[in-house]
A and B are shown apart, each in its own frame.
Chain A
Amino acid sequence: MRIRIKFSKSQAMRYTGHLDLFRSWERTFRRSGLPLAYSQGFHPQPRLNLACALPLGISSECEILDAWLECTLPLPQINQAIEVVLPPGLEVLGMDIIESQAPALQTQVTSAIYRITFLDDIPDLDERLQRINSADHLPRQRRDKSYDLRPLIEEILPVPTFKGGNQQLRLQLAAREAATGRPEELLDEIGIKFEATRVHREELIFRS
C-alpha cells in the first residue's frame, strides 16, 4: 500500500538535509516495525519519496512523504506505530492512503510559500522589495550556473508587523522540478544575510 504523510520539520531537524532526512524516515519506519517496501536489485533502497527538498536551516509545517508498505494495514495502526518512534523535530500532521499508480509526488508540486522573519530591523525593506517586484530579470549565479530568479518569484506578500514584533514577509516561489526558487537567493538579492532571518515553509502548492 502507498501512504502519504504530511509532517513538520523543526528544532535540530532543520539542519538535516534532504538525503539525511530520507535516511531519518527510513530509520523511523524500521523502528516502527512496519513492513516498509524496498526496491529490487543489488542495492535495494527503501521505497520512500519526498515531495520537495527543503534547504538547510529552514523549518516547515507542510512536508510531504510517500511511503510504500509491503502489505495493507489500517491507517490508525500505521499512524500509531510511527508516532511513538518519531525522532525529535519530526511530527506527523496527517496521513492518507494513496492510489498506488498516482503520479510521483515531485512532479505534482508547483510552488511553495515561505514565511520569513527578520531578526534585525530593516527600515528600507519595502524599497528593497520594490526593486525586486519591478525588475524584469534578476540574473544570478548558483553553483556556477546562471539563471534568472525573477520568474521564479511568484508573489511577495507583506505581513503586517505588530508593535515590537519582528518584520515578516510571505513569499511564494516556484517549486517545479527544474525550476525552483530558493528563499536564501532572494534574501541575498535584497542584501540580507540568511542567518539574520528565520525561514519557515508554510505550504506546498500542488497541481490541481
Chain B
Amino acid sequence: MVLTPPDIQLKLERILPTVQKPARYTGGELNQVVKHWDSIETHVALVFPDIYDIGMSNLGLTILYELINQRSDALAERVFSPWIDMEAAMRGASIPLYSLESKQPLPAFDIIGFSLPYETLYTNTLNVLDLAGIPLFGTERREMDPLIIAGGHATFNPEPMHAFVDAIVIGEGEQVIHEIIDAYQNWKKSRSTRRNLLINLSSIAGVYVPSLYQVSYKLDHTVDRVEKLDDQANFPILKRILPYLPPPPTRFIVPNIETVHNRIPVEIMRGCTRGCRFCHAGMVTRPVRERSVAEILQAVDEALKNTGFEEIGLLSLSSSDYTHISELLQAITYKYNGKHLAISLPSLRIDSFSVDLMDLLKDSRHGGFTLAPEAATEHMRNIINKPVSTAQLLETAHQIYSRGWTTIKLYFMIGHPEETLEDVKAIADLCKAVLAEGHKTIGRRARLNVGASTFIPKPHTPFQWVPCDTDEQICAKQALLKQELRHRDIKLTWSDPQATLLEAWLSRGDRRLADVIFKAWKNGARFDAWQDQFNFDAWMKAFEDCRLETSFYTHRLRPLDEVFPWDHINTGVRKKYLLQDFQMSKDSQTRIDCRLNCFACGILPTFADLRRAYPGKSWSCPEVKSPPKREVVIPR
C-alpha cells in the first residue's frame, strides 16, 4: 500500500511524542522550500544518510537544495536517517521514509541523491533505501523506481558502492546536477528504458555509471583492467570542476533545535596549495579558487538577515592561505562589532600570522586555539610534507598563551608512513614542551588538548601505495601516548582503532566490497560513524562470509605498478605526479606551496581550456601559455 503525505502525517502524530528530539522529523523550519508537488515536473530528494543534527550542517546539501529549488521545473526536499528509536517506531507503524518538506514517501521522487562525504555512511545509505522500500541493488530496480545518484568526497573511490548507486558524480556538483536533471527530463519524455537513461547519463562530464563498466581481476586479486561496456560512457571518468565559485548560498534553513554546527557556513576558498601528502581533500579539490572579499561580505550580510544565526564559519582547507584573509577579517569585525557575532576560522597555519588573525576575532578566545602539526618531529613532518620547525611551533604556542588563550588544541596523526615508536614518543614530548611553554607564560591556568587520530592512506594521494598500521600497531602507539600524556593539564583523545580500520577498508576497497557492505548491513551494521552504534563484529562476519581478507585492502605495501580500483577515476592530478611525490617523501624531500612554484600536478593541462577561458587571479595556478588547440579546417 502506498501512503500519501496526509497518511504519513497522521501516523507521525502518534509516534513523534514517543521519540527523542521529534523536531528532527517534522520539517517546517524557517526557509524550507515547499513547492506545489503536482505542478512540478521533477522531484529530487536530497539525502544525508545520518541524523538531522549532522546532515543539516552539511554545506554540499545546502548548495544543491538552493540550486535545484531555483529551477521552476524541479524541486528538492530533504531526507535524513531516522535515529534508532525513530527507525523502530517507523517500522512498527509501517511508515516509509519520507521527505521533511512535503512528507512524500521516498519512492514518489524521481531522483534520490545521496551526499557521501565519508565512507561510514555506506550502511546507512542501504538502510535509507530499505526504509523507503526501494530495491537496494541497482540491477533489481524497475522502470518506475527512482534514479539513485550519489556524490561527495568518498565517491572519488566509487567502487565499494557501485552496486547500490545508479550514477555517481565525481567532483563538484553545482553544474552537473542541472545536466542530470535535464537528461532525466528528456529521458522521461522519450518513454525509453531505464538502461537508456543510464547510458545518457554516462556521457555527462563527471558522471560515472558503474553498471556500464566491467572490472577484471588478476590471480593475486588486484585489478587487471576496467573496460567500459558502452561506447558513450566516459573513460576515464574525469572529475567535474567549476571554473570559478558561484555565489554562495545565503538562505539557510534555520533548525528549530540545536545541530552540530549551528552557524552560517561561507566557503571562502576551495582547494589547497599546501600539498600535505596524507590529505585527500587537498589532492581532490584542486585547483584553488577564491571568492572575492566583496562577494563574501555580501553573502554574510544576506545570510545574517535571512537566518539570524549568531555564528559565521569561514570555511576553507587552509584559512591563512586565503589571499585576502586579513582584509576580510578586518572588514567583518568592523562591520559587526557589538553585534554578538562569533566568527570561526578553521585550519590555521602554525605561525604568528595565524595568532594575529585570531586576535582580530576577540570573541573567539574562550574557545581554544587549534593547531594541527600532524606529526611531532621535523623529519616526520617532512615525510608528510607539512614542514614546520619545532621552534616555530613552540614560538606560536607561546604567542597564543600570552595573548589570552588558556587552552591550545593540538591535532596529530599516528601511523604515518615509516613512523616508529620513537616518533610517537616525540608526540608526547612535544605536547609536554608546548604545555611547559604555557606554564611558563601564564602559569597553572594553561591547558592542552591533544587529539591523536590514525592515518589512513587514502586513494588519489601520494600515500595511496602505503599500508595502514595494524590493529596491534595502533594499540601499541595509543598505549604509549596514554601512558606518556598522563598529566593533570593535558586531555588526550584518540580514535577507535577498529573504526579506523573500517574506514580504511571502505576507502581503499574495490567492487567486491559491495557484498561486504550489504552483508554487514544485513548483520545489523548502521551508524558506523557513531561509537555507541559501531558494530565491528558485523563487519568481520561480513568479510568472512564473502571470503575476503581485510589485510588485502589495508596491510599490503602495494607494488608501484599496481592498478588501483579507483584508477579509472581521474582527479586531474596525474598518478605519475603522486608517485613522484611518494618517492620524494621517502627521501624526506618537501615541496613548497605550489602557488610559489607550480609542480605540474596535472590539473593545469587537464583543465587548460577552462583555465584559458577564465584567466585571472581567482585560480592560484599559473596562466596557460599555450594557444588553444585549433580544429583543423580542410578548405573546400
B-contacting residues of A (Cβ < 8 Å)? 11-13, 15-17, 20, 23-24, 26-31, 33, 38, 42-44, 46, 56-57, 85, 87-89, 119, 194-196, 198
Contact = CB atoms under 8 A, between A and B. Distances in A.
Interface string B326-341: 0000000000000010
A29 B28 contact: no
A196 B18 CA distance: 11
A28 B14 CA distance: 30
20 contacts: A11-B28, A12-B27, A13-B28, A15-B22, A15-B26, A23-B258, A24-B256, A26-B310, A27-B254, A27-B308, A27-B310, A30-B309, A31-B307, A31-B308, A43-B366, A46-B340, A56-B17, A87-B30, A119-B13, A198-B13
Contacts of B308: 26-31, 85
B518 to A, nearest CB: 35
Contact of B23 (A12, A42, A46): A12
A29 to B, nearest CB: 7
Band of interface residues on B: 20 to 34
Contact of B28 (A12, A20, A85, A198): A12
Nearest to B18: A195
Contacts of A194: 17
A159 B18 CA distance: 27
Contacts of A46: 340
Nearest to A38: B340
Contacts of A44: 340
A89 B257 CA distance: 14
B28 A89 contact: yes
Contacts, number: 76
Given A13-B256, A30-B304, A42 B366 contact: yes
Given A15-B16, A15-B23, A88-B30, A20 B307 contact: no
Nearest to B100: A12
A119 B15 CA distance: 13
Contact of A31 (B15, B29, B305): B305
A56 B307 contact: no
A29 B339 CA distance: 12
A57 B28 contact: no
B211 to A, nearest CB: 40
Contact of B29 (A17, A87, A119): A87
Contacts of A42: 366
B209 to A, nearest CB: 38
A12 B13 CA distance: 11
Given A16-B23, A30-B304, A195-B15, 12 more contacts: A15-B16, A20-B256, A27-B307, A28-B308, A30-B309, A31-B305, A38-B340, A46-B340, A56-B17, A87-B254, A196-B14, A198-B13
Contacts of B366: 42-43
Interface in B1-47: 13-18, 21-23, 26-30
Contacts of A195: 13-18
Contacts of B307: 27, 31
Contacts of A119: 13-14
B344 interface: no
B222 interface: no
Contacts of A87: 29-30, 254, 256
Contacts of A196: 14
Contacts of B309: 27, 30
Contacts of B23: 12, 15-16, 20
Interface in B296-321: 304-310
Contacts of B256: 12-13, 15-16, 20, 24, 87, 89
